[in-house]
Amino acid sequence: MLLGPVMLDIAGTQLSEDDIIRLSHPLTGGVILFTRNYINHRQLTELTQQIHALRSPHLLIAVDHEGGRVQRFRDDFTKLPAMRELGRIWDKQPSRARHLVKQVGFVLAAELNACGVDFSFTPVLDLDYGQSSVIGDRAFHHDSNAVYDLAYNLMLGLKKGGMPAIGKHFPGHGYIQTDSHLEKSIDSRRYNDIEANDLIPFQHMIDAGLVGIMSAHVIYPEIDSKPAGFSKIWLQNILREELRFDGCIFSDDLSMRGAGDYLESMLSRAQAALDAGCDMILVCNNPAGTDQILKGLQWEMSATSLSRFARMHAKNHIGSMTKLRENGDYVRAVREISIIGCESGELPLQ
């Protein structure tokens, strides 16, 4: 059975009958996991194996696992720093920051990969303008070139751990104060201002081989009256044609308030996001909305989208968590990560 365009969530730490029905639906193509889905490594591995066994090719399994305050799995996982900590190191020791962020990417990917997760929605490519209530220390830096420099090296680390990188939130969520999870979000800047700043990390990462991008539920009225994730201007004219991105476009969660103020029904949001150019749409924490979409959505997957999905599967080079902990590169990386953000601010010489 071919994968569909819907990525949905599940209720608990193992699959219920309702979960299995939804995951077996031909419109489903992936699963996003949350903290509620995790107890320990063994349980998570069993859960991902169960999900993967349902379909061939197997459903994509994703998670928001960036580091800092956005790290879904914590017990028995390495504590990852907020990306701003790497930006602070970059200000003083750029080469050291590149090395450390590469180690962070490797550990992040290797641990998730060992448990059967295909990818994390990371890195955050938003700029830190010092005023966003939701981005904040999730951003590497306020300087676009620093963001690219660090994100590129994080991507190299992810690749070493067998995992693709997904940049977010296109075309940039860092300028506004509002949280698009909770309210309608508007960025009133002109396109030239966004292009000269926020788009730079996206353009450079695309040129470097980025295979996935998540769009923002932010309205940029100088460009389009629709949120970027529902906008053909942003997703097709700018992202596909001008920036020449040929990877997988993910919507942000269609249950977010930033999407709800644009279209009321979940089905209409799903249709609009796909029509605008998303390859895969996320529906989280809304079982009724998920069922509405699976029941009513009319969508035929293109061969192009399916080929993009194929690039999102993790490549497990290391094996189980037990084998990972015997890997010298991994042990060294974990040790080095542990000093990031230390209170003294002193970094060991490399």
Annotated binding site: 64, 72, 138, 168-169
Q: Residue 320: left if φ>0, alpha if ψ -120 to 50, beta else—which one?
A: beta
Residue stretches of the annotated binding site for substrate: 64, 72, 138, 168-169
Using DSSP bridges, classify how beta strands 70-71 and 65-67 pair: parallel, antiparallel or unpaired: antiparallel
Q: Say how many CA atoms lie within 13 Å of 21 toward its Cβ.
A: 9
Angle between helix 144-160 and 199-207 (nearest 10)? 40
- Point out the residues that are catalytic: 181, 252
Taking alpha carbons only, the member of 258, 314, 265 closest to residue 288 is 265
Tokens 């060992």 sit on residue: 114
- Cα separation of 142 and 291, whole Å? 40
Outline where the chain has alpha helix (H).
Answer: 17-23, 41-53, 83-92, 94-114, 144-160, 191-196, 199-207, 232, 257-260, 266-276, 287-296, 303-310, 321-324, 328-337
- Cα separation of 317 and 134, whole Å? 34
Angle between helix 328-337 and 94-114 (nearest 10)? 120
Contact between 6 and 33 (Cβ < 8 Å):
no
Taking alpha carbons only, the member of 200, 212, 253, 181 closest to residue 119 is 212
